[in-house]
């Protein structure tokens, strides 16, 4: 959609986010006497409209969120379908998510503070208590469980208000809350033990996740440590350092809060968020929630003053009707909120100049059609001879045949801010880092040695661990590449590029279950190269003998990018190995 076009009763201003399932637009409603209201429009990608499961999930999210009317939950205003595209209209928020906030504070070595931390968690409990006790129009309890309470889904506005986001995987018990066996919904580091074990959960699982957030805010450390599989194992057993070991001056009141939030057994936790909220407010004493909210808003506004000013300027221009030069352009392959597609990945391509193509449109389409046919034919014949069938005892040829740059995604602009945090290189290490980068392609062995020197002097440097992992993948040293990428994820679990490469390394070693787990988590993050992730996942599933799952992954890749020739060819090759279609 172009800027200032009408989408039903909403005027689109610009696009503010682009994900694997939907895109988010800033829009406004206009009325008589100059009435205007800013909203956010979440529009599902049109190619998902033919997928019943995706449409049903989107509709269920809208229906569920429509019941939620609370100051600490993002508000849903409207839902509909226009031009075969489903959309949700929601409250427009200005501020930052909690993960971005805490990362910025760590980079500046500033604490969030005791009162602010408790106030944030109290607001989360207030919103969850409302959601957990909500009933439908007939008065029947919905028993809503959010399932993904984590810093990324907690938003703090510039005014200090705390909002719970993304009820996309939340469930109500009367709408089919059974989790598919072996599928983990949510972020592992914030899961309750029962959720990490794949068991049926209730509202007390959300209570545990609130405890994890409070633990991180007050101690400045993660609840679980180690690589991804170790974190999952510890989450399943509830194995973590007690908060009193990290906070020697822990008051009896706060100790009671932690015990009620982080108990391993659900029966030992607070029975509901109302009891948890009362215990937290006891710790806050006579402090006014309004004064804390103002202080929190001042903190966020001061910390992101430049971002706030730029956003306000952009918003004024948009509301005045001035079109920005880059409004609604396709996502930039060199910057933006989504990880950068790898070299060779199918991305966005600029249109040809009209002055050259409109003169002879027939010849243009003939040339394009012929070129497309040759490309498809070439890839189909190549894959036909190189991709092995199930149970043929061969390695993952489909992975080996692809260039390294196409499989192991280099670090993207989205991750760049994480590299500027407390683990970034000191000034005296910058020359060493630059030398290592310059040798990555020509002398990988030497580059690897230099990155190890950087890590020895700066153990928490994300860039060094990530690039060491890339070097080790080039050298096909997968056992050593795995801990390098696991260390990156221990420092920043949201770095999807590192998780993608970790899944690749596991797959190359034949550790298919672990590869499937990593790729599945990358899919949940919906990066810009989602079709490539699904393609790799399909190959692993095929080699595990799960042909229906592989077919679903390939079809998913093609829904996201219908022109992914690898997925087209592999699907055709896989169907050719069987007498019936998948």
| Catalytic residue ranges | 148
Q: CB of 448 within 8 A of CB of 468?
A: yes
**CB-based burial, 386-405: b 16+ in 10 Å, e otherwise:** ebbeeeeeeebebbeebeee
CA dist., res. 317 & res. 302, Å (int): 23
Pairing status of strand 85-91 against strand 95-97: unpaired
Give the torsion sign (CA, 539, 541, 546, 552). negative
Angle between helices 512-525 and 530-543 in degrees, nearest 10: 160
Pairing status of strand 10-18 against strand 6-7: antiparallel
CA distances from 564 to 118, 340, 396, 557, 570 (A): 48, 17, 19, 8, 10
* Residues 6 or more apart whose Cβ sits within 8 Å of residue 143: 132, 172, 173, 174, 177, 202, 203
Q: CB of 310 within 8 A of CB of 317?
A: no
Q: CB of 295 within 8 A of CB of 287?
A: no
User: What is the distance between the terminal CA atoms of the chain, rounded to a whole angstrom?
Assistant: 35
Beta partners for 15? 25
Beta partners for 276? none
Q: DSSP assignment of 115-173, as one string?
A: HHHHHHHHHHHHHHHHHHT-B-TTS-B---B-S--SGGGEEEETTS-EEE---TT-B-G
* Residues 6 or more apart whose Cβ sits within 8 Å of residue 543: 390, 396, 512
Find the farthest-apart pair of alpha carbons in the chain and give their distance in angstroms, rounded.
80
Q: Tokens 């399943």 correspond to what residue?
A: 236
Q: CB of 25 within 8 A of CB of 16?
A: yes
Q: Tokens 């790799």 correspond to what residue?
A: 536
Q: DSSP assignment of 318-359, as one string?
A: HHTTPPPTTTTPPPPSSSSSSPPPPTTS----PPPPHHHHSS
CA dist., res. 129 & res. 131, Å (int): 6
CA dist., res. 543 & res. 8, Å (int): 47
Q: Select from 246, 308, 256, 313 the least CA-distant residue to 282.
A: 256
CA dist., res. 155 & res. 163, Å (int): 5
């Amino acid at each position: 959609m172009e800027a200032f076009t009408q989408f039903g009763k909403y005027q689109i201003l610009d696009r503010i986010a682009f994900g694997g399932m939907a895109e988010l637009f800033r829009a406004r409603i206009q009325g008589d006497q100059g009435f205007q209201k800013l909203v956010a429009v979440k529009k599902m990608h049109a190619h998902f409209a033919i997928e019943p499961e995706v449409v049903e999930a989107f509709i269920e999210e809208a229906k569920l969120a429509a019941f939620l009317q609370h100051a600490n939950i993002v508000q849903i205003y409207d839902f509909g379908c226009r031009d075969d595209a489903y959309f949700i209209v929601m409250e427009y928020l200005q501020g930052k998510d909690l993960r971005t906030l805490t990362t910025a504070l760590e980079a500046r070595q500033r604490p969030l503070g005791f009162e602010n931390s408790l106030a944030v968690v109290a607001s989360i409990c207030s919103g969850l208590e409302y959601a957990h006790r909500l009933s439908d129009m007939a008065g029947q309890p919905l028993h809503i469980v959010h399932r993904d309470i984590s810093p990324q889904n907690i938003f703090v506005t510039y005014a200090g208000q705390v909002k719970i986001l993304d009820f996309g995987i939340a469930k109500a018990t009367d709408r089919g809350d059974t989790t598919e066996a072996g599928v983990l919904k949510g972020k592992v580091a914030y899961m309750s033990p029962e959720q990490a074990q794949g068991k049926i959960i209730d509202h007390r699982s959300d209570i545990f996740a609130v405890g994890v957030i409070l633990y991180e805010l007050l101690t400045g450390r993660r609840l679980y440590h180690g690589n991804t599989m170790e974190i999952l194992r510890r989450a399943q057993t509830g194995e973590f350092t007690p908060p009193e070991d990290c906070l020697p001056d822990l008051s009896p009141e706060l100790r009671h809060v932690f015990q009620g939030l982080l108990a391993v057994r659900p029966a030992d936790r607070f029975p509901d968020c109302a009891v948890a909220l009362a215990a937290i407010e006891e710790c806050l004493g006579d402090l006014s929630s309004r004064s804390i909210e103002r202080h929190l808003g001042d903190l966020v506004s001061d910390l992101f003053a430049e971002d706030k000013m730029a956003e306000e300027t952009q918003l004024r221009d948009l509301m005045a009707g001035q079109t920005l030069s880059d409004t609604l352009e396709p996502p930039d392959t060199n910057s933006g909120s989504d990880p950068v597609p790898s070299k060779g990945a199918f991305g966005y391509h600029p249109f040809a100049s009209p002055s050259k193509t409109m003169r002879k449109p027939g010849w243009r389409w003939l040339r394009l059609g012929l070129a497309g046919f040759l490309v498809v034919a070439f890839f189909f014949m190549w894959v036909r001879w190189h991709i092995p069938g199930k149970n043929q005892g061969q390695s993952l040829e489909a992975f080996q045949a692809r260039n390294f740059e196409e499989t192991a995604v280099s670090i993207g602009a989205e991750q760049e801010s994480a590299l500027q945090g407390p683990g970034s290189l000191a000034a005296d290490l910058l020359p060493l880092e630059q030398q290592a980068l310059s040798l990555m392609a020509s002398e990988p062995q030497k580059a690897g040695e230099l990155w190890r020197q950087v890590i020895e002097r700066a153990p928490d440097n994300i860039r060094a661990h990530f690039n060491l992992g890339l070097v080790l993948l080039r050298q096909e040293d997968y056992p050593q590449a795995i801990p390098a990428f696991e260390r990156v994820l221990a420092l920043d679990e949201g770095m999807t590029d590192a998780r993608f490469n970790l899944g690749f390394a596991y797959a190359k070693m034949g550790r298919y279950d672990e590869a499937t787990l990593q790729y599945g988590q990358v899919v949940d993050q919906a990066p810009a190269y989602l079709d490539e992730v699904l393609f790799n996942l399909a190959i692993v599933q095929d080699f595990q003998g799960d042909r229906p799952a592989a077919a679903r992954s390939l079809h998913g890749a093609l829904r996201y990018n219908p022109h992914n020739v690898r997925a087209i060819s592999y699907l055709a090759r896989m169907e050719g190995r069987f007498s019936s279609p998948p």
